[in-house]
Each structure stands twice: as structure tokens, then as C-alpha cells.
Structure 1
Amino acid sequence: MFDTLDDLDPDQRVLVRLDLNSPVEDGVVQDNRRFDRHAETVRDLSEADHRVALMAHQGRPGGDDFVSLEQHADILAEHAGVDVDFVDSTFGDGAIAAIRDLEAGDVLLLENTRMTDDELPEKEPEAHSKSEFVQTLAPEFNAYVNDAYSASHRAHASLVGFPLVLPAFAGRVMVSEYEANSAIATKEFDGDVTMVVGGTKATDVISVMNAIGDKVDTFCLGGIAGELFLRAAGNPVGEDIEGMDLFDDQWETNHETIEELLDERGDQIKLAVDLAYEDENGERAESPVASITEKDRAFLDVGSDTVAEYAPLIRDSEAVFVKGALGLFEDERFATGTVGVLEAIAETDCFSVVGGGDTSRAIEMYGLSEDDFSHVSIAGGAYIRALTGEPLVAVELLKHT
């Protein structure tokens, strides 16, 4: 499949692409599981006495989260248990000098790749490989390691240019994410396969449902997608109300596909039987879908009866894949759906993949253990593409170089 860190010759100068893109609040980079996951690759390379330079991105130009990686170096060092130096240059003179000063076991984080003009344009790998960015950095190294699975659907220079000019290897995160996230497209399961579908990006998950319906026995729906399917089934929900801009545009984009899915695969699709909202006292309240006559409030979670219907389906499954939360779990009042489903998976001896940064965050927030799941993915867009069997450009380069 890939060459991995275990295939590296001793004493290499290694250029490593990570995905440390993180929330930023008031200029402060927030710690998250991406640092912990990538720490294994960094630690293994350092302990093997390689000379290591790291690349990563943060935000996009113009965004509030488009900041330097200086804070990232400190957070990563804490997780990896090794010193991580930082240089405020990606491939300028300062970066080259720092790279050449590396000694065995040293780790250096280069500045945000998206602060270079060459990084962001989506181009063919061959074009990126000839960029000043790649042509300047590559001669300083013996090998390139891609550990940024979650960014590997992007044809950016740091992801697709270097594998054409350096021997390319997969890091620990890359290997584990690829194997788990590709399972629904590549593995055969003897028992039922269930997919829990939620989140706010209905267009993404609807495309997944359309692509992999033959591989899934049951879809359990919630979140924005769940309401849109309820709307297609004739219920007065799944539409915007005053102050809301979540449903109508996605309905216009997807209603024909939703209606086709309900018509062709209605027996596979389980919809919420009740929905939760905030009552006049600020408390959680629930309403049966059948009793809703108009949408006059925001629904923030599936209801308890829905969880009671979904949980047995999950417990009887051989494999469960999750994409998206069933409700606004960041608010404890509306975590019942998401946490209830995750608890059912955790209690079940099945192959399970929880995908998407937001949903996986609920595991930590509500005291669940990652060890109770086969894989908790840190990928978003790449996870969606893997579920549909669509190739990831940077992954394909690792497989073919």
C-alpha cells in the first residue's frame, strides 16, 4: 500500500507534512486531538534520530484564524514529549539555515505553508513540483512524509508537490486514517452496516448516502440532513425561520436527491420520530414529529424516543460509521442524540468509525473513551471522500510513488 516510517533508512533528513489546523480564539490557538495524533509520528521520527522539519497550515488568508504556527510548536512539543523549535519562515533563508543546523533527533516546525504564494492554488502535482517552494526545500531532504490525511483531498503544493521529487512515505496518522475511513468502501462485513448521518453540512452527507447506499443497511438521520429528509417526507420542518440560514439553500440544492433516496431506499432510512427544542423557560423540551403542524422554533436535537429507536439498530450492527452530530451537543441540553448514539456504539462489539472533528469532540466532552471505538477520525472533507470511495489526490501520490 504505502511505504511508512518503518521503511525509512537510518539518519535521514525528513520533511513532514502534518495537519495542525486548529480553532483560534482571541488569537490563542486551541489544543485539540490533532496535536496528540500527530505527536506519534513526530516522536517516532525524533527517537529514530532523524533530522525532522515539519510543515503545516493554519486558516486561510484573510481569516481570523490565519495565524503563525509559533504557538503550534509549543503545543505539539507538549504532546510529543520532544522539543519542537520554530522558525518564522517556510522556505526562505531563515528556514534553510535552521534546516541545515538540524542534528539527529531535532525537530523544527516551519512557518504556516499558506503564508507562501505557491501553496494554495489547486494545481496538478507536476506543476506544484516545479514551484519555487518545492524546488527550494526539496534538495535539503532525503525523504518526504505525509501525515496530513485530513488535508489530502487538497491539491496544494506541500501535499502533492514533494512526492514527485522526494521518496515519499506515510506517517502514522495517514496509515490509520486511510485504513479505517476506507473500510466502508473496501471491506466486506457479514452483518448489518449502519451509518449515523447528521451535522450541519447536509450536502456532504447526502452525497455519501447516494454513493454508498448499496453498502449500508440502515441510515439513522439527525441534524440538518435529518430535518431535510423529514421535510421531503411531508413534515413541516427542515426550513428556515427568522434569524436562521441553514435549511432553505441546502433544500434547493438537494431536494431532488433526497426525494429520490426516500423513494428508492426508504426502507433503509430511519428518520427522527421526535425533536428537541428550547422551551420558554430555557429548558429542553421534546415534541413528536407527528404533532408538529408548523416550524415556529429551532429544533436542536433529535428526541429521546428517536435515540431509543436508533440504539437497538446500532447494537445489532457489525459495523457503524458516524458522520455528523445529531444535535447541538456542545450545549448539554441538546447532547442526548449524539451522546446516546455514541454510547450505544461504545457498548457494542462492532467495527466503528466516528468521523468529523465536531462529532469526535463529543467523545471527550462527555467522558467516553476513544478505546471503545475502532477509529475516531480527525478528518472532515477527506473522510467524506473516503466514504464515497473517491480518491484523495495526496494519498494516491503516496501509493504510486
Structure 2
Amino acid sequence: MFQTIDDLEPGQRLLVRCDLNSPVEDGTVQDNRRFSRHAETLRELLADDHAVAVLAHQGRPGRDSFVSLEQHADVLADHLDREVGFVADTFGEEALAAIRDLEGGDVLVLENARMCDEELPEEDPEVKAETEFVRTLAPEFDAYVNDAYSAAHRSHASLVGFPVVMDAYAGRVMEAEYTANSAIQTREFDGPVTMVLGGTKAEDLIPVIERVDDTVDRFCLGGIVGELFLRAAGHDVGYDVDGTEFFDHQWDDHADTIERILDEYGDRLHLATDLAYEGDDGERAEAPVEGLAKDTSYLDVGSETADAYADLVRDSEAAFVKGALGVFEDERFAHGTVEVLRAIAETDCFSVVGGGDTSRAVDLYDLDAEDFSHVSIAGGAYVRALTGEPLVGVEVLEREA
């Protein structure tokens, strides 16, 4: 097991890796659950008189979301209710000077780690530990804290290099996410276990069905993955239309697997019986899947499907959610996602709602996070935890402990 911040002596200089990666709309970074969750870790560290420098990333080079972390520092300051410094540098002289000026109770956000050339390539921890990035920053700190569970599947310098060369600990988010998201592999449930799978990244979810089949009794499918399985079942949906690029490439790459899983898992797979779309009047419209042709984008499961999925959840001993059933950011197409989440919240079952986007729905529609066993801010790491795949960011913490 890894060390946690309970093992830290107070009053140290800490490099804390958070995951503050957030949606960016019209150049503005959007506040979300990641800020509030990491703020809990930082608040505890600051109360113990630690001096904290925050290392994080935002977007990827070449994308509109690849922006500076200056706005992130402001959002974090609002959550911490204290001043948060920012330096437009990660490990150069400007950053080092700002780090050396830190005193107990201070917090500083360093510039986007992905603006460093040595951050992104996926390489072994020992290779990352030898980068100038790691070798320059590590001596400036007494210890490293990794709180970025949602990025723990990435073998990037800021995630795996520092534990090799310095004392390393898990933050509260890392600790809580690892425990909750690993539950499907370690816990036994007396009653039915239901998994709801949706969202846009079908290729990430398809392997999940096979890898958790010993634990999960039934799967409720929506979103892109749901339409692709409907296509495999012979319905005229699951195609790209109107310039979309969600379906065809994923079908081309995974059609054989989808068809095989559909054949092997039979009635354990629950597919939508109706779908929702934008009608001519701009309002939500619904149509049964039987006889439906793909001439528009379907943006949510229909009401009949949402009710059926909610009934399955209410009859469950445990429920796991990865991905939304529709475009919940648009209230017209939030019904499927919200109906299922409300059913879980009302049911006394073990529940984990996972994925950064899906966890946003909990806040957006005024659901109480306390009604779920765990609301995960992780996406890719959550999927890997569900399937029992190793997380390199966790492994290196455990090994170096």
C-alpha cells in the first residue's frame, strides 16, 4: 500500500500533483468537482503549515483546451478562500524563485505541466525520473504528493517520475478514489449488480463488459456505445450523420467485438427501446427504436428506456455508472442520465458514479453527492480500476513506499 498524507510531518515544502483539467468554454475555464475535491486535500495540508506548489495539466497541445493554468489558480483560490499564487513557468528560474519564496500556509500553482516537452511521452517511471523536469524540481521539495488519481493511468513525468527520486505520498483524492473505484474487484455483493455505460468513448467501454462479467449481472447501455450495440442488433442507427465523427470509426475498429459480446451476453445487455432527438420545433422528441432510421442525431435514451433502466437500478445491490446516457448539458436531453442517477440516489445500494463529465451531472441537476457511495472525478483511470488493469501512477507510489 502507498503512504498517505497522514504519514507526513508538518511544516514541509510539498510538490502536489492535482488534476485540474477542466472544460474550457470560449476561453474560460469552467469550475467543476475536481477543484472542490482537490481543495479538500490542499486545505488539510495548509492547515498543517506545509508550503505547497501545485503541479497540474490542462488539455493537450494543439487543442483549444490547451491553456495556461492562471485561471485555475483563481478558481482554486475561491474554493480555498485564500490567496493562491501563480507563476507562468514550471521548472525554470522564475518558477524556482517563486517556490523558494513559499512559506508555511502558502500555495502556488505552477504553469501547465504539458507545456514541458518532457511531460507527455508515455515512458517508464525510471526514464521520467531522469528528465530535466523532474531532476530540477525534486530538490526544491521535501516530499511529493500525488492527488491526481484521474490521471494515474498516464506514465507522464509529473505523475511517475517524482516518486522514484523523492519521498512520495497519496493525497486524499488519490486515497478515496483508489479505494472506491477498486471496490468492484474486491467486494462481494449478495444481490444484483448493475452497470450503466454511456458517453462518447465506446472503445474504452467495450472491453469493460467482458472484464467485469464475473461481478456485474446486467449492463444498461446508452450514449455512443448504446447506439453501436443497437446497430449490431440490426437497427438502422449507430451511424455518423450531420458531420458527426463518433460512430463510424469506432464501429470499423470494434464491430467484430461488439457483435460477439452481443451474442455471448444476450439478455444481460439492456439496450434502448426508444431514443430522443431534437424535433422540428426545437423541442425534445422521442421515437421507438424498432423501425427507426438514422437521419438525425439521437441525443438521449427515450423515456421508456430511462424508466426501465431506473427500475433495474432500484432492484440492485450495487450500481456502477460510467458515462452519460445523453447530452445532459442540454436540459432537453438530460432525462435518461438524471432519471438513472436519481434512482441510484434513492436506492440503498453501493454506488459509484464515475467519469469527470458524468460527475458534473450530479452538481448540474442538484443531486446530493452524499446519496452515492462515491462520486468519482476520474475517467480513464476509473475504467481501468473497474477492469482490474494496473494504474502506473498508483503502482509507483506503492513500489516506492
Alignment partner, residue 223 of structure 1: 223
Alignment partner, residue 322 of structure 1: 321
Superposed counterparts of 1:38-77, under 5 Å? 38-77=38-77
Alignment partner, residue 174 of structure 1: 174
Question: How far did 1:62 drift?
Answer: 2.5
Query: Is residue 225 of structure 2 the alignment partner of residue 209 of structure 1?
Result: no
Alignment partner, residue 127 of structure 2: 127
**Contact between 1:275 and 1:289, CA under 8 Å: does it hold in 2?**
yes
Question: How far did 1:308 drift?
Answer: 1.8
Query: Once structures 1 and 2 are overlaid, which stretch shifts more, 336-345 or 231-240?
Result: 231-240
> Which letter does structure 1 place at the counterpart of 2:167?
P
> Which letter does structure 1 place at the counterpart of 2:160?
V
> Which letter does structure 2 place at the counterpart of 1:127?
V
Distance in 2, matches of 1:68 and 1:241, equals: 35
Gap regions ≥5 residues in structure 1? none
Question: How far did 1:197 drift?
Answer: 0.9
Question: How far did 1:20 drift?
Answer: 0.8
> Which letter does structure 2 place at the counterpart of 1:241?
V
Distance in 2, matches of 1:242 and 1:23, equals: 24
Question: How far did 1:298 drift?
Answer: 2.0
Distance in 2, matches of 1:284 and 1:113, equals: 42
Query: Once structures 1 and 2 are overlaid, which stretch shifts more, 4-13 or 38-47?
Result: 4-13
Question: How far did 1:279 drift?
Answer: 2.0
Question: How far did 1:135 drift?
Answer: 1.0
Alignment partner, residue 359 of structure 1: 358
Distance in 2, matches of 1:136 and 1:72, equals: 24
Question: How far did 1:326 drift?
Answer: 0.8
Question: How far did 1:242 drift?
Answer: 4.1
**Contact between 2:242 and 2:297, CA under 8 Å: does it hold in 1?**
no
What are the Cα deviations for residues 69-99 of structure 1, in whole angstroms up to 9, with x where unaligned? 1221111111022322112221111222222
Distance in 2, matches of 1:179 and 1:374, equals: 11
Gap regions ≥5 residues in structure 2? none
Alignment partner, residue 99 of structure 1: 99
**Contact between 1:185 and 1:389, CA under 8 Å: does it hold in 2?**
yes
Query: Is residue 105 of structure 2 the alignment partner of residue 140 of structure 1?
Result: no
**Contact between 1:43 and 1:82, CA under 8 Å: does it hold in 2?**
no
User: Are the structure 2 counterparts of residues 19 and 270 from structure 1 closer, same or farther at C-alpha, using a change threshold of 3 Å?
Assistant: same
**Contact between 2:355 and 2:382, CA under 8 Å: does it hold in 1?**
yes
> Which letter does structure 1 place at the counterpart of 2:361?
A
Alignment partner, residue 347 of structure 2: 348
Alignment partner, residue 195 of structure 2: 195
Distance in 1, matches of 2:348 and 2:145, equals: 34
Alignment partner, residue 289 of structure 1: 289
**Contact between 1:194 and 1:319, CA under 8 Å: does it hold in 2?**
yes
Distance in 1, matches of 2:241 and 2:85, equals: 50
Distance in 2, matches of 1:278 and 1:69, equals: 36
What are the Cα deviations for residues 368-395 of structure 1, in whole angstroms up to 9, with x where unaligned? 1111111111111111111111111011
Query: Once structures 1 and 2 are overlaid, which stretch shifts more, 157-166 or 178-187?
Result: 178-187
Question: How far did 1:157 drift?
Answer: 0.6
Secondary structure of the 1:290 match is coil
Alignment partner, residue 250 of structure 2: 250
Query: Once structures 1 and 2 are overlaid, which stretch shifts more, 48-57 or 283-292?
Result: 283-292
**Contact between 1:276 and 1:301, CA under 8 Å: does it hold in 2?**
yes
**Contact between 1:43 and 1:81, CA under 8 Å: does it hold in 2?**
no
> Which letter does structure 1 place at the counterpart of 2:365?
Y
Distance in 1, matches of 2:241 and 2:13, equals: 56
**Contact between 2:17 and 2:158, CA under 8 Å: does it hold in 1?**
yes
Give the number of aligned pairs: 400
**Contact between 2:205 and 2:383, CA under 8 Å: does it hold in 1?**
yes
**Contact between 2:359 and 2:376, CA under 8 Å: does it hold in 1?**
yes
Distance in 1, matches of 2:114 and 2:186, equals: 34
Q: What RMSD, in angstroms, separates the aligned Cα atoms of the two structures?
A: 1.3
Question: How far did 1:230 drift?
Answer: 1.1
Identity score, percent:
69
Runs of 4+ more than 4 Å apart: none
Secondary structure of the 1:161 match is helix
Secondary structure of the 1:238 match is coil
Alignment partner, residue 88 of structure 1: 88
Secondary structure of the 2:15 match is strand
**Contact between 2:344 and 2:372, CA under 8 Å: does it hold in 1?**
yes
Please report the TM-score for the alignment, with normalisation by the length of structure 2: 0.97
Alignment partner, residue 24 of structure 1: 24
**Contact between 1:145 and 1:171, CA under 8 Å: does it hold in 2?**
yes
**Contact between 1:284 and 1:334, CA under 8 Å: does it hold in 2?**
yes
Distance in 1, matches of 2:235 and 2:317, equals: 32
Alignment partner, residue 280 of structure 1: 280
What are the Cα deviations for residues 251-291 of structure 1, in whole angstroms up to 9, with x where unaligned? 11111111111111112111111111222222222212224
Distance in 2, matches of 1:163 and 1:95, equals: 20
Distance in 2, matches of 1:298 and 1:29, equals: 28
User: Are the structure 2 counterparts of residues 140 and 244 from structure 1 closer, same or farther at C-alpha, using a change threshold of 3 Å?
Assistant: closer
Distance in 1, matches of 2:211 and 2:241, equals: 31
Distance in 1, matches of 2:216 and 2:204, equals: 17
> Which letter does structure 2 place at the counterpart of 1:320?
A
**Contact between 2:242 and 2:296, CA under 8 Å: does it hold in 1?**
no
What are the Cα deviations for residues 146-191 of structure 1, in whole angstroms up to 9, with x where unaligned? 0011111111111110001111100011011111111112221121
Alignment partner, residue 370 of structure 1: 369
Distance in 2, matches of 1:299 and 1:68, equals: 35
> Which letter does structure 2 place at the counterpart of 1:3?
Q
What are the Cα deviations for residues 187-230 of structure 1, in whole angstroms up to 9, with x where unaligned? 21121110001111111111111221221101011111111111
> Which letter does structure 2 place at the counterpart of 1:315?
R
Question: How far did 1:26 drift?
Answer: 2.8
Secondary structure of the 1:307 match is helix
Alignment partner, residue 313 of structure 1: 312
Distance in 2, matches of 1:71 and 1:295, equals: 41
Distance in 2, matches of 1:163 and 1:99, equals: 19
User: Are the structure 2 counterparts of residues 96 and 384 from structure 1 closer, same or farther at C-alpha, using a change threshold of 3 Å?
Assistant: same
